[in-house]
Structure 1
Amino acid sequence: MNRSIRVTGMSGAGNDFLVVGPDAAAQLGTERAGWVRRVCARGLSLGADGVLFVEPRGADRIGVSYVNPDGSSAFCGNGSRCAARYAYLEGWAGARMVLVTDAGEIPAEVRDDTVRLELPAPIDHGEREAVCDGSRHLGRFVTAGIPHFVLFVEDLAAAPLESWGPALRRHPVFGPEGTNVNLVAVDGARVRLRTWERGVERETLCCGSGAVAAALAARLRGAPERLEVWPTGGIPVRVELPGSAAAPERAILEGEARVLFRGEVDPEAWEWPG
């Protein structure tokens, strides 16, 4: 494949993505996963937290497929918010639409540069203990579209996520698929969050599903149902978990989704040696 690929760069509260429409996706064909691995490599190519493949599927229905930088597929909360705004700007849907994702059908609403998602309720699997390098980590294991291990810490900035993240992400207590790792500190209705994302394999500036998982864990400790989550990047997202803390009815995730650029990726961006 030696033709340029048209992409749109977007950011959802610090999670940065490349968005690919149906025509460009057709150009990639079966090379999609390999192309994603290469163009997401920071320093060697454009660099991104993942790639969103977005397409219209009828009146106000939008197909969204998210691929991690390692080529694996997953659900992405912030990516879904960016996909909704992209579809709205392309004229494929009105301000209210349904996203067809790996986590099911997700209602979305675009309000200027802010997108609100109505997600399935996160599921609390209880406490899990993981021992890594002699250190004991006790936290909550939560599914918010994808698995998350939530650890409460006193000093969020000083916590060594760069060493805990890789070890806990693949710990056998979380099964063969592993987990995202979230460090959390709570002050009333304000949650501070750091996330090590599986598939990205590093700390990201924000994780939408991680914000939902952190909010559930915070609610189970007495936090209110409406929370403001402040991730590493410093741009907050809002999470609402109506209903009881143990069994919320649904999750609302809301935050900004901005266009960074529109352009074409030259084949040299993915044809580097190695």
Structure 2
Amino acid sequence: MQFTKMQGLGNDYVYVDCTKKKLENASEVAVKVSDRHFGIGSDGLILINASSVADFEMEMYNADGSRGEMCGNGIRCVAKYVYDYGLTDQTHISVETLGGIKYLDLTVKEGRVRQVRVDMGRPMLCPTEIPVIANGESVIDMPIEVDGTEYRMTAVGMGNPHTVVFVEDVDGLEIEQIGPKFEHHPCFPNRVNTEFVKVLDRNTVKMRVWERGSGETLACGTGACAVAVACILNGLTENKVTVQLLGGDLLIEWNREADKVYMTGPAEVVFDGEVEL
């Protein structure tokens, strides 16, 4: 299998061009290639497919083989791949995902995509849309008991489910212990991605993320969007926020009049290769 390993802020995936030929057993392949000791090493597998409703389709699998609806860092890399590898010459493209069709603007320098701005669409706040088991029209600063401790969560859907928890010490957080407890908490029927956040000022926040099916990752684009929305809903930041992740920064803007979230950040090729399946 020919592949390209790419990363957005250290959130790395194995990418395969399937526009002409489908890949069989993608879930099993995702587990194999994601292994950092016996495989290529990645947070998952992303297939780039032809689409009847958009320019391309992004088919995403987590490192454990489970299907993911959407990946913010991953979709920026899809944009870079299709342009840099000659699948399109357009700098405004649409990509079909399980989380809906996303629209991307590519910044090109010297024939290569350097930065991508993604229209991530409407943040979902209704519990049944996210989904999260809760009463009311939204879940904002709501108590949740995890492993005997009460936290306050704000739940946001960005094509996939997120819960945002504000903490005083994000660096010293034992995320390997608490992350899985949130991921598998009974109030999240499809499991959940959890962002632990410290607000630095009205325009800057710092986060770490526990992604369902992958564990802690260096960055999560949809998670950064959920964090910005949660910060704004709780009155902690302005509508444009720099989100600091372990792998770097993303600029997130929630245009509340249009009810759209925009994410801007980099995408990089690590290497091309071939793997025996």
Instruction: Give the CA deviation at 1:91.
Output: 1.9
Residues 34, 252 of structure 1: alpha-carbon distance in 2 compared, 3 angstrom cutoff: same
1:164 corresponds to = 178
1:90 Cα offset (Å)? 2.0
Shift of 1:133: 2.5
Aligned length: 255
Contact 1:25 1:53 in 2 (8 A): no
TM-score, L = length of structure 2: 0.87
CA distance in 2, matches of 1:241, 1:142: 13
Matches within 5 A, 1:36-51: 36-51=30-45
What is the CA–CA distance in structure 2 between the aligned matches of 1:23 and 1:132, rounded to whole Å?
43
Q: 5 Å matches for 1:1-274?
A: 5-22=1-18, 26=22, 28-29=23-24, 31-57=25-51, 61-74=55-68, 75-93=70-88, 94-112=90-108, 113-124=114-125, 125-127=138-140, 128-175=142-189, 177-186=190-199, 187-200=201-214, 202-222=215-235, 223-233=237-247, 235-243=248-256, 249-267=259-277
1:183 Cα deviation (Å)?
Answer: 0.3
Q: CA contact under 8 A between 1:130 and 1:171: conserved in structure 2? A: no
After TM superposition, which residue ranges in structure 1, 4 or more long, deviate above 4 angstroms? Answer: none
Q: CA RMSD for the aligned pairs? A: 1.8
Asked if 2 retains the 8 angstrom alpha-carbon contact of 1:11 and 1:260, the reply is yes
Name the CA distance, whole Å, in 2 between partners of 1:213 and 1:48: 23
The SS at the match of 2:139 is strand
- The range that moved more, 43-52 or 252-261, is 43-52
Aligned with 2:246: secondary structure? coil
Q: Residue 129 and residue 178 in structure 1: after superposition, are their counterparts in 2 closer, same or farther (change >3 A)?
A: farther
Aligned equivalents of 1:216, 1:249: Cα separation in 2 = 11
How far the C-alpha of 1:35 sits from its partner, in A, is: 1.1
When the two structures are superposed, what TM-score results if normalisation uses the length of structure 1?
Answer: 0.88
Distance (whole Å) between structure 2 residues aligned to residue 25 and residue 163 of structure 1: 41
Q: What percentage of aligned pairs have identical amino acids?
A: 32
Deviation string for 1:198-252 (max 9, x for gaps)? Answer: 011x11000000000000111113211111111122x1111110126xxx61010
Q: Deviations over 1:120-167 (max 9, x none)?
A: 121233134332232112211111111111000111101221111001
Q: Give the secondary-structure state (helix, strand or coil) at the position aligned to 2:255.
A: coil
Moved more, 62-71 or 49-58: 49-58
What is the distance in 1 between the residues matched to 2:150 and 2:252?
29
SS at match of 1:126: coil
Counterpart secondary structure, 1:174: coil
- What runs of 5+ residues in structure 2 fail to find an aligned partner? 109-113, 126-137
Unaligned runs of 5+ in 1: 268-274
